[in-house]
Every structure is written in structure tokens, then in C-alpha cells.
């Protein structure tokens, strides 16, 4: 399954050339990661996109950003969504599980959905080399110009960098989610299909006082492109050093102060935390969160019949 639509779009294809495949691993790591992503002189809006793979679930060949924009203009997809999965370089096993989770899902009908794993600067030489291998194999890595963190500005860097990086071929929506969330892409796409394309803020809404949706839970939330662009251009957020603290609450705070994201939609209870006993799955799930270990991922795969299509073979005997 590809989370891109059949017209073959891949936003980062134009940055990759076949010559990367000829580079030794050490040189690849140096060229792709170390000089461009850890430079003290890098601008705050720099966004590194590491790519080289052409056969991964979210990568299609033969298209660059202009091709994608033209294809969208021609009506090949109703809308486009960038899903940024915030993770850390050391969580390679988790990323492999999440990649499989997306790859084995049905495609989102008439929607272009690109899934990317989002890091801050990869400064450790060992991690840099391993991330470079991932980038070469899967082509689904975004590296931001920040120090790795969870609640110290990474989400702001992601939301503010993406509109500049993809300015020539903007998405309709941008999503932030985590690597302990199982997102059912087709179900989310159906929710977005009839929604406005502007001033949207969608997720698991949290009520505070009389406000039924003060902010969206950090397990995963979507903003429309214009909202992400507003975050990117709003210097007040940085001027007031307002990027440190619970990232989901802060995003809601920025939008509330700025009067943005007025089209708010809570997908609760279809987005939820998995309970201690792992017995609260829903058949209409859009996203289930708190998959902190392999046991919880296995329970999720069993509930949603992810392994139902496995073919019988003499080479394995699985229950």
C-alpha cells in the first residue's frame, strides 16, 4: 500500500539522484547529514529532507514537486495531507513497526497522504550514519534544525518549517502525530474530505472551562495549510519564547490568541488512549495512542486484523 495516491507524487524526489546509490555509506552520511543538518550557521527555517529510496510505502518515482502540484491541479486527488510522525533517531525498531502499520493499510481514496518521520538535528556520528541508511532505503525522513526534544520547541519548528520547505507544492493539511500512535489513514481522510480547506484545527479535543475544544491532544492533530503558514510567519511566538511546555496545549494557545483554527473538529471518541488492559479498541477508530511497547502494537495489529492477509507457507507457522 502506498500512502501517496496513484498519480505518483513524492515531494522530495527532485532532491534525490541515482548517484546517491553509488556513494559509500560513510560518505553518504557525511554528505546528507552532518554538514547540512548540524551546521551552527544553519538558518532556523532550514529543513533537511533525506531521501533516496524509491520503493517504500510513501515514495513514488518519476515525480517532483511541480509534477505533484500539476497533478493536484488536474484533479487527481481531492486533497493532500502531510503526516509528520515525531520521533527520535534511536527509535529505529519503533519506526519499523510504524512503517509496517502504514504500509499494510488500505489506501485513502482520492487523497494524497505523505508520511514522514521527523527528527531534530542528528549530531551523533553513529546515529547519523544509521539515519542516512534509513533515508536511502525508505525516503521518508525529515530533519529539522533544532536540538532533539519533545516539549521544547520541536513541534513549533515542524509546523513553521514545513510551509517554507514545501511552498512550491503546498499540502491542504498538515498533521503532527507521535510514534506511539496507530493512525488509520483512510478513516482520517474520510473525516477530512468534507471539511473546509482553510482555518481548520482537528483532533481529539480537550475542553477547558467553557471552551469545549481549547486544544487538541498531542496524539495527533491536523491544521490546514494556512494555519501552519500563520504559525511559520508569527514572530510573536518566538519573541515571547512561547514554545517551551506541553506542545499540544501550546499549539492551542497560539491559535486561540491569534484567532486561528476557528473551524474546529473533535474526533473524540474515535481518537483515544489505549487502556491499561488493552480492551477499549473501537471498530471505528481513527487513531489509538499510548502504544509504548511491542505488546501494545501486537494487540493493535490483532484487533484490526492487520495480519489477516498473510499467505500460508511451509516456511513459517504462525498462530
Q: pLDDT band at 310, cuts 50/70/90? A: confident
Sheet order of strands, 182-183 included: 182-183, 287-289, 271-273
The per-residue pLDDT for 73 is 53
The alpha-helical segments, DSSP class H, found in 166-313 are: 185-193, 225-233, 235-239, 247-258, 294-303
CATH topology of domain 79-304: Spore Coat Polysaccharide Biosynthesis Protein SpsA; Chain A (3.90.550)
Amino acid 111: pLDDT:
96
> In this predicted model, what pLDDT tens digit does every residue of 147-167 receive, in sequence order?
999 999 999 999 999 999 999
Q: Give the closest residue to 73 by CA, choosing from 26, 128, 9.
A: 9
Cα distance between residue 125 and residue 132, in whole Å:
10
Q: State residue 222's pLDDT score.
A: 98
> Average pLDDT in the 113-121 region?
97
Which residues lie across from 117 on neighbouring strands? 85, 141
User: Residue 270: pLDDT above 70?
Assistant: yes
Beta pairing partners, 175: 83, 222
| Three cell numbers, residue 238 | 518566538
Q: What is the pLDDT of residues 13-28, one digit of tens each?
A: 333 333 333 344 444 4
The ranges assigned to domains in the chain are 79-304
pTM of the model: 0.80
By percentage, how much of the chain surpasses pLDDT 90?
Answer: 68
Nearest CA to 199 out of 222, 216, 215 is that of 222
Task: Decide which of 46 and 152 is more confident.
Answer: 152
- 53 pLDDT exceeds 70? no
The confidence band for 1, taking pLDDT boundaries of 50, 70 and 90, is very low
Please give the pLDDT value at position 300: 98
* Grid cell at residue 244: 517551551
Q: Dig out the grid coordinates for 213 from the structure.
A: 475544544
C-alpha to C-alpha distance for 250 and 190, rounded to whole angstroms: 27
The grid coordinates of residue 214 equal 481549547
Judge whether residue 180 has pLDDT over 50: yes
The reported pLDDT for the residue numbered 75 is 59
Q: How far is Cα 145 from Cα 147, in angstroms, rounded to an integer? A: 7
The torsion angles phi and psi of 146, rounded to 5 degrees, stand at -155, 170
pLDDT at 263 over 50: yes
Instruction: Give tens-digit pLDDT for 272-290.
Output: 999 999 999 999 999 999 9
Helix locations, 199-272, DSSP H = 225-233, 235-239, 247-258
pLDDT value of position 152:
93
Confidence category of residue 186, pLDDT binned at 50, 70, 90: very high
- Give the mean model confidence (pLDDT) for residues 36-63: 38
Bond prior to 269 in cis (omega within 30° of 0):
yes
Amino acid at each position: 500500500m502506498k500512502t501517496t495516491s496513484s498519480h505518483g507524487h513524492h515531494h522530495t524526489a527532485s532532491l534525490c539522484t541515482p548517484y546517491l546509490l553509488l556513494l559509500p555509506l560513510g560518505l553518504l552520511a557525511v554528505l546528507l547529514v552532518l554538514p547540512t543538518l548540524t551546521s551552527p550557521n544553519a538558518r532556523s527555517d532550514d529543513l533537511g529532507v533525506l531521501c533516496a529510496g524509491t520503493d517504500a510505502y510513501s515514495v513514488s518515482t518519476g515525480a517532483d514537486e511541480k509534477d505533484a502540484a500539476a497533478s493536484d491541479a488536474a484533479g487527481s486527488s481531492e486533497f493532500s495531507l502531510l503526516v509528520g510522525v515525531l520521533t527520535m533517531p534511536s527509535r529505529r525498531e519503533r519506526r519499523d513497526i510504524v512503517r509496517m502499520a502504514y504500509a499494510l493499510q488500505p489506501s485513502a481514496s482520492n487523497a494524497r497522504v505523505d508520511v514522514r518521520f521527523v527528527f531534530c538535528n542528528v549530531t551523533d556520528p553513529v546515529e547519523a550514519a544509521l539515519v542516512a541508511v534509513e533515508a536511502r532505503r525508505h525516503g521518508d525522513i525529515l530533519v529539522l534544525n533544532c536540538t532533539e526534544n519533545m516539549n521544547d520547541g520541536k513541534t513549533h519548528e515542524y509546523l513553521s518549517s514545513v510551509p517554507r520547505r514545501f511552498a512550491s507544492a503546498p499540502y491542504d493539511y498538515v498533521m503532527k502525530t507521535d510514534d506511539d500512535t496507530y493512525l488509520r489513514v483512510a478513516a482520517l481522510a474520510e473525516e477530512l474530505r468534507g471539511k473546509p480547506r482553510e482555518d481548520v484545527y482537528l483532533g481529539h479535543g480537550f475542553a477547558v472551562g467553557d471552551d469545549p475544544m481549547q486544544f487538541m491532544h498531542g496524539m495527533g492533530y491536523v491544521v490546514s495549510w494556512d494555519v501552519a503558514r500563520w504559525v511559520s510567519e508569527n514572530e510573536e511566538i518566538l519573541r515571547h519564547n512561547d514554545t517551551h511546555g506541553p506542545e499540544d496545549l501550546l499549539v492551542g494557545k497560539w491559535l486561540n490568541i491569534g484567532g486561528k483554527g476557528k473551524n474546529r473538529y473533535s474526533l473524540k471518541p474515535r481518537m483515544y488512549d489505549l487502556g491499561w488492559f488493552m480492551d477499549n479498541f473501537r471498530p471505528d477508530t481513527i487513531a489509538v495512542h499510548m502504544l509504548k511497547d511491542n505488546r501494545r502494537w501486537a494487540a493493535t495489529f490483532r484487533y484490526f486484523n492487520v495480519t489477516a492477509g498473510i499467505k500460508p507457507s511451509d516456511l513459517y507457522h504462525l498462530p
